[in-house]
Amino acid sequence: MKQWILPGVAMAAAAGIWSGPALAGKADDTLNWATDREVAVIDPYYNNTRELVVMGHLGWDGLLFRNLDTGEYEPLLATGVEWIDNVTLEVELRQGVVFHDGSSFGSEDVVYTINHVSNEDNGVLTIKNVSWMKNAEALGPHKLRINLVNPFPAAFAYLSNAVFIVPEGHYDNAPTGADGRKDFGAVAPVGTGPYKFVEVKAGEYVLWEKNDAYMKDTPKGQPSIGHIRFRTIKEMNTQIAEMLTGGLDWMWDVPKDQAERLADLGTVTVENAKTMRVSYLAFDVDGSSGQTFFMDKRVRAAVAHAINRESLTRNLVGPASVVIHSACHPDQFGCAQDVTRWDYDPEKSKALLAEAGYPDGFEFDIYAYRQREFTEAVIGDLAKVGIKANLTYLQYRALRDLVWKGKTPINHMTWGSNSIPDVSAITSHFFSGGRDDPAKDPEVIAWLAEGDTTTDTAAREAVYKKALERISSELYWLPMFTYAKYYVYANDLDFQTTSDEIPRFYAAKWK
């Protein structure tokens, strides 16, 4: 059994002398939340971790806002966005908006932002989020045009979740890094969002304060809590101890067994909720890592049949999680699930290993960065068929860089799609020939390009299905499951979980 709570806290709770978390957060009007990630870059274009997706919606605004209840896109910085033709959007902007630095918001800021981030030379990390835009041009102080590279039917989804607006000239004075390139991620954050950046101490915390000048009558609403502090706390046991003693007001990714025990205490609120994040194993199908086992499809199939995804999902992830079979999230447009499936069958796995020339199994390196216990469960299943997997567990950015260099035989990773409900945000990101693509299959690349630019809904679905079937049948990935997060938060915090894995801290309140 895991030790999950500091002995003193456990004894106090058992003795009935502990009355629940201290009200430190409410007392100083600061919502404290934590993960195990170190955060140094405070810019959603130059840090693509989930922490920065969350902070992106705190500190910045997009042109549109997606209403999760209706699925509709509502005005935010824009008052209207209209298709002029298949490759042109015309945008009317909200007036009277002010950036955190006091400058007025207008069309020149949107034009500057789009022209900067869509330029591949400027190094935006998730370039698929912005590369569909060719450029933007002002038509007046509060009117502009966005020109697309090709027709892109998912444009509104990206404008609401992945295109955050910065002031004109924001990146112009970025310092030059050691490699001679501009370090755009080092520029101090400035947006129009409900919270303003205060300070960051790399590896420790990021502090935001309420923007009292935030625009009224928007879907985000007026912020209530005075400060939001993100903290890096490496150990889950430490996070839980701080949660129980009032040092934290909110946390997530709590392991299932620990969340259930916390729920039994009744002194904090515990909730399991679905997300748009998926877990996957990506195979080194070209042997670039130097461990060539997975160039053989029979070996990839042996791995797939050896892993009991249903058991992992049921016992470790949570009731809101489901096993997936396609390289996408079932809630995303175009995510066909009727593709080739690789069911749990350890005997078939052993037979395939023998057929491939590994009757006694083999040893390889598996890389991961998130929820170590999930990867350890995979390693345990592989051991049962004779495959020994040695775990290298890294911070996300370090692992991402190794993946881009083709150094990982198998990487067990996750993707949240920036919470964009469209296959283009995941399948097209990983299989369009870029640095995250393990296969670079020309047919898949062509099919995805067609799906990303076809405006006919039925045609998009059909061509995406062809790509997803090829990815599954060739086992470039083994899709694992949808993430279901256990949230734990203070009983005095009025907070609503959402299915898109973007906690709306700007909408939270103290009870």
pLDDT tens for the chain, 511 residues: list them: 233 333 333 323 333 323 333 445 889 999 999 999 999 999 999 999 999 999 999 999 999 999 999 999 999 999 999 999 999 999 999 999 999 999 999 999 999 999 999 999 999 999 999 999 999 999 999 999 999 999 999 999 999 999 999 999 999 999 998 889 999 999 999 999 999 999 999 999 999 999 999 999 999 999 999 999 999 999 999 999 999 999 999 999 999 999 999 999 999 999 999 999 999 999 999 999 999 999 999 999 999 999 999 999 999 998 999 999 999 999 999 999 999 999 999 999 999 999 999 999 999 999 999 999 999 999 999 999 999 999 999 999 999 999 999 999 999 999 999 899 999 999 999 999 999 999 999 999 999 999 999 989 999 999 999 999 999 999 999 999 999 999 999 999 999 999 899 999 999 999 9
Task: Match domain 37-227 to its CATH number in 3.50.50.60, 3.40.50.720, 3.40.190.10, 3.10.450.40.
Answer: 3.40.190.10
What are the residues facing 229 on neighbouring strands? Answer: 32, 207
Strands 268-283 and 477-490: antiparallel
Q: What is the CA radius of gyration of the chain?
A: 23
Helices (H) and strands (E) in the chain, counts: 15, 18
Whole-number Å distance between alpha carbons of 6 and 98: 46
Whole-number Å distance between alpha carbons of 111 and 469: 39
Amino acid letter at 67? N
Whole-number Å distance between alpha carbons of 199 and 486: 29
Q: Which CATH class is domain 275-484?
A: alpha beta
Whole-number Å distance between alpha carbons of 329 and 479: 10
| pLDDT at res. 22 | 40
- Phi (first) and psi of residue 158, to 5 degrees: -75, -35
3-state secondary structure of 200: strand
| pLDDT at res. 23 | 45
| pLDDT at res. 26 | 85
Nearest by Cα to 410 from 371, 443, 378, 373: 378
What are the residues facing 485 on neighbouring strands? Answer: 273
Nearest by Cα to 202 from 39, 49, 395: 39
Q: DSSP letters of 338-388?
A: -S------HHHHHHHHHHTT-TT--EEEEEE-S-HHHHHHHHHHHHTTT-E
Whole-number Å distance between alpha carbons of 381 and 304: 10
Q: List Cβ neighbours of 22 (8 Å cut-off, separation of 6 or more).
A: 245, 246
Which residue's entry shows tokens 């909200």? 94
Whole-number Å distance between alpha carbons of 338 and 450: 20
| pLDDT at res. 19 | 34
| pLDDT at res. 184 | 97
- Domain residue ranges in the chain: 37-227, 275-484
| pLDDT at res. 465 | 98
Residue 266 has which token pair?
């009744």
User: Considering the entire predicted model, what is its pTM?
Assistant: 0.83
236-245 and 7-15 helices, crossing angle to 10°: 40
- Phi (first) and psi of residue 30, to 5 degrees: -130, 120
Q: List Cβ neighbours of 16 (8 Å cut-off, separation of 6 or more).
A: none
